[in-house]
Structure 1
Amino acid sequence: MSISIRRGKAEDASALFGLARQYQTGREAIGRDEFSVALDNVLRQRDQETNVLFVAEEDERVVGYSLMTVSRLLHAPGLTAHLQEIVVDESARGHGTGDRLMEANEHYCMGRGVRQLSASTARIGSFYNHRGFEAMGQHYRKLLDLG
């Protein structure tokens, strides 16, 4: 069982839609039309690439993806990246797919000179819950050693 990582493309839409519906963080899952608009935007070429979509395949079947944005922030020098989404199909979890996707994102960042990669997770403290927030994430970052 070999896991390969590659850039996402329009032909992956059906598989990615199924995975995106597994990710669901809002009150309702994304619909097909909204997903199509989002995927088109993610895949659109720009002068300064801001969206990076990686797809994980196992035996030629899409089993995961990650979506990262690369940008400049006003408070940090240079390029930064934020891992917006990382999803591994429920049937493929526990085989290293998530690790491989993370490695692909880190490698991409280091190749572009990105020093900070941040990510969010679905954990949040009672401080925010008490104030009417819904648990959506906790912010983490990893400083990358560019050598």
Structure 2
Amino acid sequence: MTDTEDPKAPALPATDRSLPIALIRAREKVMAPIRDMLSETGITEQQWRVLRVLAEGGTLDATEVAERASLLQPSLTRIARSLSDRGYVTRTRDHADRRRQMLAITAAGQQVIDDNLAQALQIAERVRRSLGHENYEQLLDLLGALQDFK
């Protein structure tokens, strides 16, 4: 023990019991096969999330897309520009509020989703099988509950 250590101070949990570290490790395990899938498309993880959100939600306000895709607004601005330049999304101004940018997936963007759908589903099914259906659903519920953490 050093002179600056307080013997009564609580210790940090071991790294194998640290929630932030466990979440990062789990994310890396889950994302590895998705990164492999995306490497063949020329689409980044963030671009994939934006396309997924738009495929699911239709035309959305950029702020909503950023929130649903877990992106910071400046990152979404750059990603939306890149996806628009590639013809995967359209960017328009809201007619009622010209400050709002509306994003929508194009047929070409939907084709990227469709072309990778079978492989994405296989990856998700491997994770589900690995955990078991109940654990998989419980994990999603618990992670959803963490979104309300303050």
TM-score clears 0.5: no
With structure 2 as the length reference, what TM-score do the two structures score? 0.27
With structure 1 as the length reference, what TM-score do the two structures score? 0.28
- Kindly indicate which of the two structures has a greater share of residues assigned to strand: 1
- Kindly indicate which of the two structures has a greater share of residues assigned to helix: 2
